[in-house]
Amino acid sequence: MNTETPRLLLVPLTPEVIGARLRQERFTAAVPTSRGPLAVTYPPDWPGDILPLFSVWQRDFPQGEAQRHLTLVERATATAIGQMGTKGLPDKRGDVEIGYGLNPGARGQGYATEAVSALVADLLAYPAVRRVTAQTAVTNTASARVLQKLDFTQVGAAWDEEDGDLQVWARTR
């Protein structure tokens, strides 16, 4: 998926970008776009909470993984402002879970809604996907608002060690 929204480019996360981020806090990398390569700046606060996963992904970046993990690039500045993707392939019921996060300076500007909308539309276009799900920390009201704006419904609750109490959201075709 290499999608453009009014303010964003959603570009695949590559092993090269993962390696560069693990070596340095700030860097620039050429990213393929529909208009040719674009020099994207990756600031120190990118990719946020998933950075610890990068060392695991660097060792064993599965085939096709770049299709599931995307970098959000602000078109006006060619700066990486977040990341998003699916947490695996659709299960046998057709459910696929998404996750997303923004750099602190990019929050509160509608970027998450814009990006998640594009990702959900793309996922629901696949015949194997019946429902898109997401989990938000109970305390993360901003993320809950993003999902509510995009017609997700709260369908349950969960808990994990990192985030504690979670709300489970879903959107069907």
* CATH code, domain carrying 143: 3.40.630.30
pLDDT value of residue 36:
87
The answer to whether residues 136 and 149 touch, using CB atoms and an 8 Å cutoff, is no
Tell me the C-alpha distance between 34 and 9, whole Å. Answer: 10
pLDDT value of residue 33:
82
Q: How many domains in the chain?
A: 1
pLDDT value of residue 63:
59
pLDDT value of residue 58:
79
- Least Cα distance to 78 among 29, 118, 114, 116 occurs for 29
Give mean pLDDT in consecutive 10-residue pieces for the chain, a chain of 173 residues: 89 90 95 88 94 84 66 97 93 96 96 97 95 96 97 96 93 94
Q: State which residues form the domain around 78.
A: 3-172
pLDDT value of residue 79:
98
pTM of this prediction?
0.92
pLDDT value of residue 2:
74
> Element (H or E) spanning 40, and its range?
strand 38-42
pLDDT value of residue 49:
86
- DSSP structural state of residue 48: G
